[in-house]
Structure 1
Amino acid sequence: MWIIDKCIFYGISDQPLAFSDGLPIYTPRGENGSSCRLFIGRLGFLDLTDLGTLQSGEDSSGILINGKVLYYSGAVKASKLTVTISAKHTAHIQNERSSVMVALMSYPQINPADIQTIHQMEQGGYIPFRNDPNTYKNPAEIRKRLQQLGEQYFPFTDDSYELALSIYDWTTADFFRMDLFHLYCYTAMAETPRNLSEMADGLASSDWGTYKITNADFMNSFMLPTMEHPDEVMDGLQKVESVLGADLNALARVTMAAKYLLPRISLTVAPMLYSGQVAIQNLGNDAMAAYFMECPCNRGPVGMPISMAIDLALNGFMAPGKVVTLKSFISFTADPSEAEQYSNGLLLVLQPKPDTYIWGEGITNITPFSDAPTTKNEYTFSPGAQLKIERHENKIINNRELTVIYMTYLDQIILVPGIG
């Protein structure tokens, strides 16, 4: 256990402090595997993850602080930390036995125009998802909850509510539109056009749960009315694709910024991650290729399918040793049985890169923002995250044959054309 004993500002005026766990500053912390962020006004923040017992001897436990380990004795009731913040935006953290010096992590730059886009989407009724069956029916209750989460996790930003809203929206049925617009984008072509034919097929063929073209709430998320015939979908998408596509790119950028501000995930809590795919179940396994920028179909020309037979992909750009880059968000769980339950033919098994204590930037635990926070764990990658394919196999799991793809997260993120 550890506790902030005092915080000193050197050569700079005192700044307000807040922890992402919402508890008072001078509260004992440090449950093995716990992670939180100490926000220091608008200067920046510290990322603190308790590593538990690391070695034998007196200084046996550790806290990972912005990439450096501060050791402390696990025998004491709570190691007392003195944090000194300088005008150079550095932090010196010292306890009874050791110290580290780190640079404060910086807040992400958020384009005011992207925040304005979210305002317009909310005013138009396109965010959050209307009448989500997993959450509160009353929009005022949803807004109140998101305001509270925003104040807790993003305390010194002007856009705390919008950041919380952006993450929450991904956990609702709105994930469908985010995926559809980004999977079927030709990321290797100038101006990143989309394959509207595949998008229309994916939308028109959806016939599960809320995800039906006859469902008013679902179609509202696409800025479209309900439809009775699949052949109406293409005409509808052609009318909204430009505006909605730009809106979703703005929403994706804000979501990525919000995720960057969330605490890291300790390997103690989630040593491995699992994802049942394909998330949009009616697309089939061939849509897995469309998740990655390296799929050669991203080069076009427009009209060429971006999907690819899974066997062809696994023997080509997704072969063992290849590195792939996500085009959209994708969610994982730490529970393999949960991932197997949601699998529609594919199971992704992910390990962290070697010699690390935490999952790196790009994947965060968004469960507190979920539309069902008490019933599902959700660890979500941002677009641009890079994964290495290790191997794959076909395996019988719960009387179903699944294609299992083993991957390593490289802790690297690059820009995705179209999203930025």
Structure 2
Amino acid sequence: MWSFNTINNPTGTQLSFSDGMSLNANRGGNGISSRLIVNGQGFLDITDFCPGHGAAYVDFNGRQLGYNSPFGSFTLTLPGNGTFTVQLDNCSDPQVSGSLKPFPTISAADAAYLTEMFNKKYVPYQNIPDAPGKTTQQIAALGQQYFPFTPWSFQLAMSVYDWTTASFTRMVLMKIFEYTGIGSPPYPLDLPSIATAIWESNWGTYNPQNVDYMHSFMMEPASCQQDVLRQLEANYTELQNFSAMENRLLTAAFQSMPRTGTGAIPQLFSWQVDIYQLGTEHFGIEFLQCPRNAGSTLIPLQIPLADALASYIQVGDSITTKMVWSFSNSMDDAMEYQNGIILVANPPVGAVVWGSASYITPLSDDPTKIEYTFAPETTFLVQSVQTQTVDGKSVLVITLQPN
């Protein structure tokens, strides 16, 4: 455990921790990371390592300072120029210095667009049937807690909240069915495949006859697949722009959430393909490296799993996602929802925190749903590809490491 006994902040910069506790509160625990937000300057991630035996230390944005277990008391100095210095109390030496992590870039136009979608009730998903949900006031308060450095804290919080609802289906489909190898954004879309995925959805109330489900796609309930395609052909430009905007805000929000210590969570697990009506032939199109991205738009955007594994998803390859990827900290969770493929993520060697994975459960529509997310266009190194028997089921297990 540790605390800041003294914080020297001569410029009077606004300071807060993402956990909402006071600046001088006791924090930590082995592998636990806390994020200090220095308004106008950046983030300081503070990760505790107190294994109960051997040396204890705290990592400050990659700079490490030891302390005598079980408790470390520190003095933090923030001169106002984006740097920091930390010194162990009652000890003139050692001390560590470094730079704050920069805030993400957030587009004012994206924030305004999300506000428009919120006012039109496209965000968040309406009448959530299977989770307690959060009120607008609760989401706004969480935005102030996690994103106080920006005037668009509500929009960032709302984008994450919306992702945890069935709206994620819209964001996934509008990303993976882009022909990203043709031209520049906005990329051509495989509209028939998107229409098929919407039409074949049949998970509880999430079906094409349900008003709220179709509203999330800016559509009316449909009586046939051709009706879905007709509506999609009329609104896909707006829908694609909507998806792109939310994904950009999600990326900024994920970068701003506190980090997770690798000592506390050494591996993450994901279930694929994560929309049940999609097949394994759609797994390979989730990556920018898929050659079908540059193919004819007259050919459906899919690739046999065996072909993907034989070409660009091999050990030693780097693959870059088109979409947000969600993970859990439990193999059991992944097995419950898997559709033939399990992803296992390992942190980079020597990393004290998951630099590109964000724990978003506090902003979820369901507080019991453990969820870690990687932003679109995250690149992973393929470490292994194996068919394994897990809980008596044969699944393809792909082990990855984010770069």
Distance in 2, Cα, partners of 1:31 & 1:326 = 33
Q: 1:54 Cα shift?
A: 9.4
Partner of 1:123 in structure 2?
A: 119
User: Superposition pairs for residues 67-82 of structure 1, below 5 Å?
Assistant: 67-75=62-70, 78-82=71-75
Does residue 397 of structure 2 align to residue 404 of structure 1? yes
Q: 1:21 to 1:313 in 2, by over 3 A?
A: same
- The answer as to whether partners of 2:41 and 2:81 remain within 8 angstroms in 1 is no
Aligned CA RMSD, in angstroms, stands at 1.6
Hey, what does 1:219 align to over in structure 2? 214
Count, aligned residues: 398
- 1:265 and 2:263 matched: no
In structure 1, distance between residues paired with 2:212 and 2:47:
40
- The 3 A distance-change label for structure 1 pair 390 and 40 is closer
Corresponding residue to 1:162 among 134, 155, 159: 155
- CA distance in structure 2 between the aligned counterparts of 1:40 and 1:118, rounded to whole angstroms: 26
User: 2-side partners of 1:106 and 1:178: how far apart?
Assistant: 27
Q: Matched residue of 1:167: which SS?
A: helix
Q: Could you tell me which residue of structure 1 aligns to residue 361 of structure 2?
A: 367
* Distance (whole Å) between structure 2 residues aligned to residue 391 and residue 5 of structure 1: 46
Q: Tell me what 1:387 maps to.
A: 380
Indicate the residue corresponding to 2:39 in structure 1: 41
1:20 to 5, 13, 18: 18
Structure 2 gap ranges (5+): none
The answer to whether residue 81 in structure 2 is matched with residue 88 in structure 1 is yes
CA contact (8 A) 2:132 2:366 kept: no
Instruction: Output the CA distance in 2 between the equivalents of 1:401 and 1:282.
Output: 19
Would you say the 8 A contact 2:48–2:59 is kept in 1? Answer: yes
Please state how far the C-alpha of 1:255 moved relative to its aligned partner. 1.0
**Shift of residue 209, structure 1, vs aligned partner:** 2.1
The equivalent position to 2:276 in structure 1, one of 281, 284, 306, is 281
Cα deviation 1:169-201 (Å, max 9, x = unaligned): 111100100000000011111032111121111
TM-score (norm 2): 0.95
- The answer as to whether partners of 1:33 and 1:49 remain within 8 angstroms in 2 is yes
Kindly state the Cα deviation for residue 64 of structure 1 after the two structures are TM-superposed: 1.6
Deviations, residues 20-45 of structure 1 (Å, cap 9, x unaligned): 11011111111222222111222222
Identity of aligned residues (%): 33
Give 1:51 deviation, angstroms. 2.4
Task: Pick which of 257-266 and 43-52 moved more.
Answer: 43-52
Deviation at 1:99, TM superposition (A): 1.4
Contact preservation (8 Å) 2:33, 2:353: no
**1:340-377 Cα deviation digits (max 9, x unpaired):** 011011111121121222212x211111111111x221
Whole-Å separation in 2 of the counterparts to 1:289 and 1:262? 29
Residue 275 of structure 1 aligns to which amino acid in structure 2? S
CA distance in 2, matches of 1:84, 1:194: 51
Return the TM-score normalized by structure 1. 0.91
Q: Deviations over 1:108-163 (max 9, x none)?
A: 121110000101110111000011123346xxx52121112111111232111111
Question: 1:300 offset after TM fit, Å?
Answer: 2.1
Are the counterparts in 2 of residues 63 and 70 from structure 1 also a CA contact under 8 Å? yes
Do residues 290 (structure 1) and 299 (structure 2) align? no
Equivalent residues of 1:53, 1:62 under 8 A apart: no
Q: Separation in 2 of the partners of 1:290 and 1:160?
A: 33
- Distance across 2 between alignment mates of 1:238 and 1:85: 54
Q: Is 2:188 the counterpart of 1:186?
A: no
